[in-house]
Amino acid sequence: MKTDFGKISRRDMLGVLAASAAAMAAPRAFAAPPGAGQPGLRGAIDAVQYRAVPESGDRKNRDLQQMIDKAARENVPVFLPPGTYRVSNLTLPDNTRISGVPGATRIVYTGEGHLFSADNVGRIALSDLVIDGSNRWLADYAGALVQFTGVGEVLIDNCDIAGSRKHALQLEGCGGRIERSRISGAGQSGIYAVESSGLSITANTVSDCGNGGILVHRWKKAEDGTIVSGNRVSNIRANDGGTGENGNGINIFRADGVTVTNNQIADCAFTAVRANSGSNILIGNNQCRRSGETAIYVEFEFVGAVVTGNVIDGAANGISIANFDQGGRLASVTGNVIRNLTLEGPYKHEVGFGIGIAAEADTLVSGNVIEDAPRWGLQIGWGPYLRNVVVNGNVVRKSPVGCAVSVADGAGSAVITDNIFQDMGKGAVLGFEWEKQVSGELAGDSSRYGQLTVERNRIS
């Protein structure tokens, strides 16, 4: 219907405005409960119903625990409105799903033992919560502020976990996902996952932790399959000292089949990515900056490692594929960029620091670019620990020695071909017995050592 606005009188206009005001003032017949506007919270149990409200007094633990238990039995989520909930010793049953308002729902630990725990259940989900340990005491039985054991599927999404005296988050025998969360200020590590099954740790920020960032461990060497991808890890200290067991951004121990990709890792006391006795590991496309020791370390009892496409800027050593004497072998190191290394490390090392890439057994080292390694660009073998290493198509600039290859008694074969060495102080390819140089330049003539093939390298 066409309206003639020119014929509306002042009385008509006042009537329309009055009707509009009355409609706005009238109660809504279908007012939405808190959180109902978010699809994931429809049907949720609201904390207010159980008097588990922020700063609720002595009953707060019991009321919140009762609410969590009821929601789990009815298979519905719990929604915690904004505010601070001061609690401790919450045990989460199967099918617990707790969510809040991002940055506004704060669960603060009061220090009576532990904060969250769950044992041998199917599913636990925590989302949009701030979980604050306030650096309070944790009981001897509690390894972390949030500790889950034997949970088939854990989901921790968009949470802040801070101020734990021990680990921030400990998962033992769990699967699931830890994602989009911010974890900081832990006395031990940010995330400690042991004996995992199908676990993914993705898109988190882990920072300012006392001894480790993200730890993926097993009690005995076995298949693990955890994916660690897209995380930001920074400012990891080694408060408990040692020569590598602490101070690592991402640490893999005895866990096979782990993937570590696309992470940003900076300012770790020791290593950005350290794999100890983990076979079939993939370490790819990580940014590693300012590592105190070796930026990427694959060591001890491993068979099978791929280290590819990483950028390392600032470290004592770049990449080390080590411990053939302990069974460590079979690796591919390709397409990495390594620069700005230093001779200074956190302890005294038998070889010394300032090495771009080190490899010992059954390893391909190809297509890497190394610049400013102040000791050796490449270290191939150590004493008798050398077997079947191919060094091909690498670019090494500004090092005293381009490639130090072991020619000690018992050392095996190496092929060093088609590399470019520029601005070498002492030589491009030199033979060593342990730390002692025993040959002149081998880039043009390696016939003295039948186990070596050194051909078509360019020196400038």
CB atoms within 10 A of CB 41: 20
Residue 429 CA to residue 142 CA, distance in Å, equals 54
CA 196 to each of CA 19, 72, 172, 333: distance values in angstroms, whole numbers, following the listed order: 63, 24, 7, 27
Whole-number pLDDT of residue 57: 44
CB atoms within 10 A of CB 432: 23
Predicted model pTM:
0.89
Please check the confidence at residue 30 and state whether its pLDDT lies above 50: no
Q: Which of 209, 317, 308, 216 is nearest to 268 (CA)?
A: 209
Please check the confidence at residue 33 and state whether its pLDDT lies above 90: no
Please check the confidence at residue 346 and state whether its pLDDT lies above 80: yes
DSSP structure string for 250-263: EEEEEEES-EEES-
What is the band of 453 on the pLDDT scale with cuts at 50, 70, 90?
very high
CA 13 to each of CA 3, 9, 18, 24, 25: distance values in angstroms, whole numbers, following the listed order: 13, 6, 9, 17, 19
For residue 349, what are its two tokens? 């090392």
Residue 262 CA to residue 88 CA, distance in Å, equals 36
Please check the confidence at residue 58 and state whether its pLDDT lies above 70: no
Residue 208 CA to residue 161 CA, distance in Å, equals 12
Residue 73 CA to residue 389 CA, distance in Å, equals 59
First CA to last CA distance, the chain: 87
Backbone angles phi, psi at 61, to 5 degrees: -60, -50
CA 4 to each of CA 1, 8, 224: distance values in angstroms, whole numbers, following the listed order: 10, 7, 75
Task: State the sign of the Cα–Cα–Cα–Cα dihedral 439, 440, 442, 445.
Answer: negative
Whole-number pLDDT of residue 351: 86
Residue 266 CA to residue 249 CA, distance in Å, equals 8
Q: What is the mean pLDDT of residues 127-144?
A: 97
